[in-house]
Amino acid sequence: MNNMGRRKEVNPDLPPRMTARPRRSGGFNYYYGQDKIPLGADLNRAKIKWAELETGGSVSNQRYIDVADRWEREAIHIGRRRKTRSPKTQKEFRAGLKELRAAFKDALLEQIQPFHVRQYLDNRTAKVSANREIAVLSIIWNWARGKGITDKANPCVGIEKNPESARTRYVTTEEFNDVWEKACPELRDAMDLALLTSQSPSDILRLTRQDIRDGTLWMRRGKTHKKLGLRIEGKLKEVLERILARPRTISSVYLIADKHGQPLTIYQLDGRFQKARGSADWQFRDLRAKAVSDEPDLRTASQRAMHADEKITAAVYRRVRGEVIAPLKLGTETS
């Protein structure tokens, strides 16, 4: 007997295209169609929503929470151009979803107005986090419009986000060396590669032995998928030889791996870094800015960082180091 037959035996009164899923606490959750659009746990209300969907009526009266849950199940892993989002991004999105669910609770989509978005940004204590969370809300809303869940305009559009100050922390060589001396071998490898290549932590962790070809270390930016080769020479050659020669329980294809040959996740890398840095107030990601800033030639710094425009590099370059000029010469008369 097929699934439909079993469902009708459990609840033979369900209308066409409505399905029921048992709840552990008792009762059922109801859904509509192949896309499993949530209808709620109350059968009478579920039938009202079912009727609206069947007749092509507006479905923007769905609860935000239900739409967000469906987006999390179906599309949280899909980014722009249908590219798969990284596990780190998905985790950050889920953290944002938790805050948004608490704020909007049982609000219907049609009830959420632009001024609600403004209130959220104003009332949230963590201002930068609020910006990220509203970005998630905007993504969900655009996805819902594309799915025909709502035809209402995105309430996030045109709402100015909270101001954010650019990070200005510059890591000196002495500070780098101090943490490096306290670091475990795999963290040392990651710190050295981050400084020598100007790449982000996630891109460093992605490097493998196969990326070493014909005397070149080939790198790829996760965000842009842009590729660049660095000639293996000088300090980079020394670091790569050290990494490849290090004995491990199991040989690893990844350059950054623990003593057992297991590749590090971004969270494991951060945990090791937090332990090694102690009371130091800089972050691993600051090494990318240090690498860009320490390169005297702006064009080379931009190429190595794989920036699309030298203006991006210049903003980081001058923000971190600033210009260097001579001090005032005492005793010099001015006319």
Query: Does residue 188 share a domain with residue 288?
Result: yes
Region 56-64: what's the mean pLDDT?
Answer: 64
Number of domains in the chain: 3
Q: Round the average pLDDT of the chain to a whole number and report it.
A: 87
Give a yes or no: residue 145 inside a domain. Answer: yes
CA distance 204 to 150: 41
Q: Above 50 in pLDDT, residue 68?
A: yes
What pLDDT band is residue 4 in, cutting at 50, 70 and 90? Answer: very low
Identify whether residues 158 and 95 lie together within a single domain.
yes
Give residue 3's pLDDT: 45
Q: Are residues 39 and 89 in the same domain?
A: no
Place of tokens 């033979």: 12
Domain identity same for 242 and 191: yes
Confidence band for 40, pLDDT divided at 50, 70 and 90: confident
- β-bridge mates for residue 254, sequence order: 208
Q: Is position 330 within any domain?
A: no
Least-confidence region, from 12-26, 162-176, 233-247: 12-26
What local confidence, expressed as pLDDT, does residue 264 receive?
Answer: 94
51 closest CA partner among 15, 104, 12: 15
Are 21 and 125 within one domain? no
pLDDT value of position 249: 87
Range of the domain at 9: 1-57
Q: Are residues 278 and 146 in the same domain?
A: no
Q: Are residues 252 and 200 in the same domain?
A: yes
Mean pLDDT of 277-300: 92
Within 10 Å of residue 123's Cβ, how many Cβ atoms? 9
Query: Residue 213's beta-bridge partner residues?
Result: 216
Q: Are residues 106 and 231 in the same domain?
A: no
* Structural domain contains residue 335: no
Q: Which residues of 145-162 are buried (b: 16+ CB within 10 A; e: fewer)?
A: eebebbeeebbbeebebe
- Specify if 83 maps to a domain: yes
Assess whether 186 and 290 both reside in one domain. Answer: yes
- Tell me the pLDDT band of 11, cut-offs 50, 70 and 90: low
177 and 309 assigned to the same domain: yes
In a domain, 260, yes or no: yes
Q: What is the pLDDT of residue 333?
A: 57
Mean pLDDT of 232-248: 94
Q: Which two tokens stand for residue 228?
A: 């660049």
In terms of domains, do 66 and 118 share one?
Answer: yes
Q: Is residue 109, in this structure, part of any structural domain at all?
A: yes
Note the pLDDT of residue 258. Answer: 94
